[in-house]
Amino acid sequence: MHADSPTSDERLIEDHIDGDPTAFRLLLERYHDPLIRFLTRFTGSHALAEDVFQDTFLQIHQSVGDFDTSRRFKPWLFTIAANKARDALRRQNRRKAASLSASAGGDDGPAFVDLMAIDLPGPDMPLEEAEQSRMVQQALDEMPLRQREILLLAYFQRLSYQQVADTLGIPLGTVKSRLHAAVGSFAKHWQRQVDAKSGQAAAREQGPG
């Protein structure tokens, strides 16, 4: 391995099990930003995402002895994170009496990768990017939870179909069909917002009259 190559996730897990005090911290730092983005998109709440992130790494710490280091770490991490996020949403929904219905679907898909990679709006984010990010989140929030989950894993986290199947515990064919439905659902909710925004812009241009 090249001297500058980063240590693999799996090697860090082995080092942690062997007593290296820095290995677990390196893993946590490596996955903090991507996992927080995933969980924020998944739950629609940055505060809830932070709570789930902490619960996820606590579970990783407690279960690390059960991890097979011949397998990839990232799908295992996202399996735990997705489960924790679903549990958190169920608790939240019971308190709010809100409903996020789960649904299945349909096959792979297209051009939302760039949209899914947009960070959440921050104070320095240009207005156009912030608005686009808000629209992405609103489209996700309107999707059934099962579709939202698979879209985030496949497009936002760029897991392979097989890794998504392993993460969700579903057959490969189901991944493809459900992802197809998720892409269609996202496109419908996204287009509705684009049309509404265009209509508002046209109305402003026409002015009172």
Q: Is 101-209 a CATH 1.10.10.10 domain?
A: yes
Amino acid at 176: K
The answer to whether the CB of 149 falls within 8 A of the CB of 42 is yes
pTM of the predicted structure, to 2 decimals: 0.68
**Single-letter residue type at 8:** S
- Asked which of 98-102, 130-134, 196-200 is least confident by mean pLDDT, the reply is 98-102
List, by residue range, all CATH 1.10.1740.10 domains of the chain: 1-99
**Span(s) in the chain for CATH 1.10.10.10:** 101-209
- For 126-177, the pLDDT digits (tens) are 666 777 778 888 888 899 888 999 988 888 788 888 888 988 888 999 998 9
DSSP 17-64: HTT-TTHHHHHHHHHHHHHHHHHHHHHS-HHHHHHHHHHHHHHHHHHG
- Protein fold of 1-99: Rna Polymerase Sigma Factor; Chain: A (1.10.1740)
Tens-place pLDDT, residues 15-66: 999 999 899 999 999 999 999 999 999 998 889 999 999 999 999 999 988 8
